[in-house]
Chains A and B, each alone.
Chain A
């Protein structure tokens, strides 16, 4: 079976500092995978390497079996890699529908009829329970709903691989349920990788967990195995210094 996403010996050095060290990572189609690790573990660097915001110092990245190590962010997106951002990264002046429509237009092609684009965007907006806010400018929405727009834009690209970068970050407790509901209803065949601090969310979502520490994979396994792993406890309970 072709993996949805694979990194082979992926490394990134800033000067002498290795922020990603020989990472061998595998994401299967339909995966519900979480990447966790303490602050400064290199999670953000890893995401930036996967999406192409950073170029690796060594190693390869395969997306659905194709080598995309040298491909631009946009080229990776067109090949099925979509992401959400840790801090909302939207088109604040545009309506929810227009935000999503921009993504639909890139996915379907700019020659697609406007009506078809709008209808498809509206269907995505509805799927995320945002239809009442479809014509509202994004900046006028509460933060939790803006987080949903983040996901809506990513889903409009119909990705095979979805990277959720701390999807519930900054969301008040009462609204985080909405986001988890949406995540639980993602298409089963889509490979989803979540980068998250919130352990409750991670353990509700993930069927597989990778723990990243100081730019290297410490351990991988099922949530049960990770929860029981003494090395993980050590890292999280802080008997060893980390930063």
Chain B
């Protein structure tokens, strides 16, 4: 192999591939094919965005968390409260959601990144629980048990009204997801993102080559929190309601399940896992309303036992890689 070829091959490594267009083709196609279910479609897109943010934290920074809903909920409440008390404008609302969640991520990250393993897991759980309890107590601001109601959102850019069929909401979520995906992808292909892979693969060596590991992880945790906050903000804006469940343990656990299900540490696991989980949950809840949680649990057990690496892991094995 000549030098020029080796360098060119290495440079091509993160180039976009055609297969990466599939989620967006499906996303746009879904808008036309399932035009009567766009509200549900928005929920799927939000779940994907939430799972994508977790992939950054869990899959790339290697931070084991059962409290990721802390950021989702912070974003949802921040966007909702901003809409009620400050402005109905949606884009600035998403920004507020991102900044609020990133702040919570950076501050809690200072604590949790000092720990590892089980301690870290329990701390993430504790922080999410604390936030949930705080939101419950601060009912003057959050609506407490009744949830945050009366959220009104202006048309996007003054042009696109949020309609009752959820068309605008769906496209809004799709575009925000696209931007977040693009950002994540560029970030992970950058030397910063590659250093995260290095930290995941061998942290001892990263210390030895001079990488400020703690600072890298903290930045990543805050970015992951910000994206989760945007997902929460989208939920608040498109459903015009924030319930206490946004900060719940169930929400934190669910997003981990989605990601494990799709495949951790590879961006697209979030897309596949969240989409399939949401659709399966919807179908099972319709056909077996009392028992659907059992089937979700069974699928999870089977996928952890027999499909390590999630659905993308299965696809890899089928392709013989």
Contacts and interface: CB of A to CB of B under 8 A. Distances in A.
Interface secondary structure of B, over-half rule: helix
A77 interface: yes
A82 B208 CA distance: 7
A105 B1 CA distance: 24
A102 B207 contact: no
Contacts of A135: 1, 6, 9-10
Given A77-B208, A122-B6, A102 B192 contact: no
Contacts of A103: 209
15 contacts: A51-B208, A77-B209, A85-B208, A89-B208, A91-B202, A97-B10, A102-B194, A102-B209, A103-B209, A105-B194, A106-B206, A110-B191, A111-B191, A134-B1, A153-B209
Interface stretch (B41-49, B210-218, B279-287): B210-218
Interface residues of B, number: 26
B211 A74 contact: yes
B190 interface: yes
A74 B207 contact: yes
A117 interface: yes
Given A110-B192, A157-B209, A91 B11 contact: no
A119 B209 CA distance: 18
A91 B208 contact: no
Interface of B: 1, 3, 6-7, 9-11, 190-192, 194-195, 197-198, 201-202, 204-213
Interface residues of A, number: 42
7 closest Cβ pairs, A-B complex? A77-B210, A78-B210, A105-B191, A110-B191, A91-B201, A73-B207, A103-B209
B195 A106 contact: yes
Contacts of A90: 202, 205
B9 A83 contact: no
Interface string A33-65: 000000000000000000100000000000000
A134 B11 CA distance: 13
Interface string A82-115: 1101000111111101100111011100111011
A176 interface: no
B3 A112 contact: no
Interface-central residue, B1, B195, B208, B211, by most chain A CB under 10 Å: B208
Contacts of A114: 11, 190-191
A89 B207 CA distance: 12
A162 to B, nearest CB: 12
Given A112-B191, A132-B1, A102 B204 contact: no
A190 interface: no
A74 B213 contact: yes
A31 B21 CA distance: 56
Interface string A116-140: 0111001000100001101100000
